[in-house]
Amino acid sequence: MRAAIVSDDATLLMPAAPEFVEPEAPPPPPPTRRQIWGARARRGLPWLSMAMGITSALLLDRRPERAWIVPLAVALAWVLLTIMLVLHRPAEATLARRAARWSTLVVAQSLFQLTVFFVLPLYWQSAAPTPGHVVFLGALGALGASALWDPFFQSLFRRPAIGIPMLALAGFAGLVATLPFFGLGTSVALWLATGATLVVAPMVAWLVAAPEARRRTVAATVTLGAALAAGLWAGGAAIVPAAPLRVVAAGIGTGVDGKTRELLGAADRFAGPPRQVVCHTAVWAPLGLGDRLVHVWRHDGEVAGVVPLSVRGGRDKGFRTWSRKSAFGAKPQGEWTCTVETGSGQVLARRAFVIE
């Protein structure tokens, strides 16, 4: 091919410059056997971790004398979360730094799993079929499920705005359910766990947040803790099952055997107001725990009486206690309920009966 160059004197024909063709890159070498097996192993690690997590949750030793490991795990998890989030700040990713933040993340995840899976069965045994308890168990179960899949959990836990609230909820649930094993009443345990969350979460947020976002992050955690405390003060404790207490037996009857302390005349419907109605409960509690409960009597949803009771721990079949109702008012007909609650309003059980 020739190119024409036109001038005033003549038209000159010059050869065109050859087109440049970039040489093709050589094909990459095929992966080695070690690389293939390494990629397969990395894909299989989350599944292996999930299997190990489920196995450990099923085989976890939850004897009362092992309850001390939960407060310890909560404390260590807060420390490791702080270290891990500090190490994940933008900085030169040296080998030592990468190893440190990976190891702290893995250990913190293990402690998180231990906390949630130790107390989840305790809450399940204590829960009553109320909407609040369903929501609480669902949230705690979702936390436990998220910790089983490493990529998902670790991607969330590395973010302060998500990791701190996740550990705050898990730590709160862990302390509420295990502090009574050390002789603290359920109400005291509830407020101690709330206070610990209110203090520790903002401290961690202050240490790990970037300077430009520190004030906003701390304010968010303080707001979260204050909302938790205000909710409990306003009666929100009713959504938290009273773990580790649990009702072994509960029923409505007309009397109690003086020797065996068993319920007599069990019934849930009466043809007219009886001479008395007895609400009989057997509540299991840890050895050494002395706690205060109440029986709340209601008629068609309105409170008709509150009877304080005491419970002592250590009996496998539960500490038996009861209250009596003999004054039913001018219009006794309708639905009556007897609810077993802690001093903070945590519901343990509810039994209903009808007077026709």
Domain boundary among 202, 224, 239: 239
Residues 83 and 204 in one domain: yes
| CA-angle at 129, arms to 125 and 135, nearest 5° | 90
Tell me, yes or no, whether 194 and 106 share the same domain: yes
- Does the residue 114 lie in any domain? yes
CATH number for the domain that contains residue 271: 2.60.40.1930
- Domain total for the chain? 2
Between the alpha carbon of residue 306 and those of residues 122, 284, 333, the distances in Å are 27, 21, 20
Q: What angle do CA 329, 330, 336 make, to 5 degrees?
A: 50
Pick from 239, 261, 280: which residue ends a domain? 239
Summarised one tens digit per residue, pLDDT across range 303-334 is 999 999 988 988 888 999 999 988 888 888 99
What number of CA atoms fall less than 13 Å from residue 153's CA on the CB side?
24
CA distances from 86 to 40, 159, 161, 171, 243 (A): 31, 11, 14, 20, 34
Distance, CA of 327 to CA of 136 (rounded, Å) = 36
What pLDDT, on a 0 to 100 scale, did the predictor assign at position 20? 59
SS3 150: helix
Q: What is the pLDDT of residues 226-241, one digit of tens each?
A: 888 888 888 888 899 9
- pLDDT tens for 329-342 read 888 899 999 999 99
Please check whether residue 146 is in contact with residue 91, taking contact to mean a CB–CB distance below 8 angstroms.
no
Does some domain include residue 218?
Answer: yes
pLDDT at residue 38, rounded to an integer: 64
User: Does residue 39 lie within any of the structural domains?
Assistant: no
Radius of gyration for the chain, computed over Cα atoms and rounded to the nearest angstrom? 32
Are residues 325 and 278 both part of a single domain?
yes
pLDDT at 1: 45
Mean predicted lDDT score pLDDT of the chain: 85
My answer on whether 215 and 255 are in the same domain is no
Q: CA distances (Å), 66 to each of 178, 187, 230, in order?
A: 10, 22, 32
At 81-99, the pLDDT tens digits run 999 888 877 666 677 878 8
Tell me which residue range forms the domain holding 227.
47-239
Q: Is residue 37 part of a domain?
A: no
Q: Domain check: are 224 and 258 in the same one?
A: no
With beta carbons less than 8 A apart as the criterion, state whether 248 and 318 touch. Answer: yes
Residue 29 lies in a domain: no
CB 269 within 8 A of CB 247: no
Last residue of some domain: 239, 271, 293?
Answer: 239
Same domain? For 257 and 229 the reply is no
For residue 263, give every residue at least 6 positions away whose Cβ sits within 8 Å of its Cβ, in sequence order, or none.
Answer: 251, 253, 255, 256, 257, 278, 280, 322
Q: How confident is the model over 168-193, as pLDDT tens digits?
A: 999 999 999 999 999 999 999 999 99
Type of residue numbered 273: P
Taking only the tens place, the pLDDT of each residue in 23-52 is 666 777 777 777 666 666 666 667 777 777
**Residue 229 shares a structural domain with residue 281:** no
Is 192 in the same domain as 58? yes
Query: What pLDDT digit, counting tens, does each position of 135-150 carry?
Result: 999 999 999 999 888 8
The answer to whether residues 188 and 276 belong to one domain is no
- Which whole-number Å values give the CA distances from 302 to 296, 323, 344, in the listed order? 10, 18, 19
Q: Is 38 domain-assigned?
A: no
- Average pLDDT of span 282-300: 91
**Domain check: are 199 and 326 in the same one?**
no
Are 78 and 135 in a shared domain? Answer: yes
> Residue 34 falls within a domain, yes or no?
no
- What was the pLDDT predicted at 41? 62
How many CB atoms are closer than 10 A to CB 236? 16
Q: Is residue 106 part of a domain?
A: yes
Residues 273 and 224 in one domain: no
